[in-house]
Amino acid sequence: MATTILVGAQWGDEGKGKIIDVLTEQADVVVRYQGGNNAGHTVEVGAEKYVLHLIPSGILYPGKLNVIGNGVVVDPLALLEEIDHLKSRGIAVDGNLLVSNRAHMVLPYHKVLDAIREQSNKIGTTKRGIGPAYSDKVGRTGFRMVDLLSPEKFSAKLRLKVRETNEIARAFDQKPLSFAKINADYLAAGKKLRRYIVDTIKLLNRLERDGRQLLLEGAQGTLLDIDFGTYPFVTSSNTTSGGACTGAGIPPHRIGRVVGVMKAYTTRVGEGPFPTELLDDQGAQIRETGKEFGATTGRPRRCGWFDAIATRYSVTLNGIDELAVTKMDVLDELPKIKVCVAYKLDGKLIDTVPADVDDLSRCKPVYQEFDGWQTSTKLIREFEDLPKRARLYLNKIAQLSGAKIGIVSVGPRREETIFL
């Protein structure tokens, strides 16, 4: 296995955490390359369930190196909490976790600004300060992990940033933030995190040249990408495979494979167009069966049928070689299953995702209907053993999406996986 990128092919929560976990067995290093603790990646091992927000989903495999790449925005307090939580559950986090010194930080004022912006311009964010932290990065006024290692410089710059944010907070009737508290909290966090903060670029490229297997873990999904998603209802980073190179510091020609994770249906959290959304009992049933509630915010996820226009766009954009189809088992009981094969926009058939969200909002899905297999797939471990109708469905969604299937997931646990 050459360096592999794993991306979400829909609107996030495709089951990336689970698939990273199963692929980690063959990898040496897992690198998160973008996003922050807006992500919630679930891994179930035996009777234990772990939700990872910043730490790569490879952490549950002993002996693998896990790296938070330069493209991630890190809330140091959230990271410490996650480290402590894992340690309290007996997971080793020392010696196998590193954080790029170039990764930008999320500070408390980013969360304040996130909440203020949501009042007038509702995206339905996770309120983790992600957008404002990336805005500061691009605006060249951000803090990076390396800054935690120079307390005096950190404090001087922080004082200005807190003053600036408090002006805005006042204008929106928000409580002002305390420079002293943030300064003390973050410098204390810096002391604890110091041992994890390194220059990951040199290290990752050396490991890669030495023949180690790198697995680059994306967060969110293609339709939430800042450039290619349903703008402005997106997250603030490049979730797609190009973002893996810039967010990990690995050159494009060293990438050997791109895996796209997609659910056998579709979900979305937050605002924004969702052509195949089911607002009826069918949607509620999928939400119940699939336990579709956010791993980070607990919000109910919007549920709908599989959208092959969206996934074909993802396959093209990311260069997906192999698909991992998750949550097949959630469709087990359904008598009929629909797949969106085209959009109808103002009476005209189209087969691409329009750039304008208002156009996408007006798109009506054109469906092809399939007979359900109506039998449990949870215990099946070989593709050939799946019911014929399930195989037919999988082959159809792969063909419509334009890539071959490498993995089918029939349950949240490690072993509930079919490799093709």
Indicate which residues carry an active-site annotation.
13, 41
* 15 sits near ligand IMO (criterion: CB under 6 A): no
Interface with ligand GDP by CB under 6 A: which range of 15-23, 115-123, 164-172, 360-368? 15-23
Rounded to 5 degrees, what are φ and ψ at 409? -110, 130
Q: Which does 235 bind (CB under 5 to 8 A by kind): ligand GDP, Mg ion, ligand IMO, none?
A: ligand IMO
Q: Which does 412 bind (CB under 5 to 8 A by kind): ligand GDP, ligand IMO, Mg ion, none?
A: ligand GDP
Quick note: the x/- pattern for ligand GDP over 285-324, rule CB under 6 A, is ----------x-----------------------------
| Spatial distance between the Cα atoms of 312 and 400, rounded to a whole number of angstroms | 7
| Terminal-to-terminal C-alpha distance of the chain | 15
CA 121 to chain centre: 22
Compute the distance between CA of residue 418 and CA of residue 410 in angstroms, rounded to an integer.
8
User: Binding to ligand GDP by residue 8, rule CB under 6 A?
Assistant: yes
Is 21 a binding residue for ligand GDP by CB under 6 A? The answer is no
With beta carbons less than 8 A apart as the criterion, state whether 137 and 73 touch.
yes
Q: Are 154 and 148 within 8 A, CB to CB? A: yes
Sign of the C-alpha dihedral computed for residues 220, 365, 405 and 403 taken in this order = negative
**Which lies closer to ligand GDP via its Cβ, residue 61 or residue 109?**
61
The least CB distance from residue 291 to Mg ion, in Å, is 12
| Residues contacting residue 210 through CB under 8 Å, at least 6 positions apart | none
Helix, strand, coil percent values for the chain (each to nearest 5)? 40, 25, 40
Stretch that binds Mg ion, among 71-79, 131-139, 295-303, 323-331 (CB under 5 A): 295-303
Which residue from 35, 36, 40, 272 is in contact with Mg ion, where contact means CB under 5 A?
40
Q: At 214, which amino acid appears?
A: L
Smallest gap from residue 328 Cβ to ligand GDP (A): 6
The nearer residue to ligand IMO, 235 or 326, going by C-beta atoms, is 235
Beta bridge pairs of residue 303: 267
Pick from ligand IMO, ligand GDP, Mg ion, none: which does 64 bind, CB < 5 to 8 A by kind? none
Residues that bind ligand GDP in the complex, under the rule CB under 6 A = 8, 12-18, 40-42, 44, 295, 326-327, 329-330, 409-412
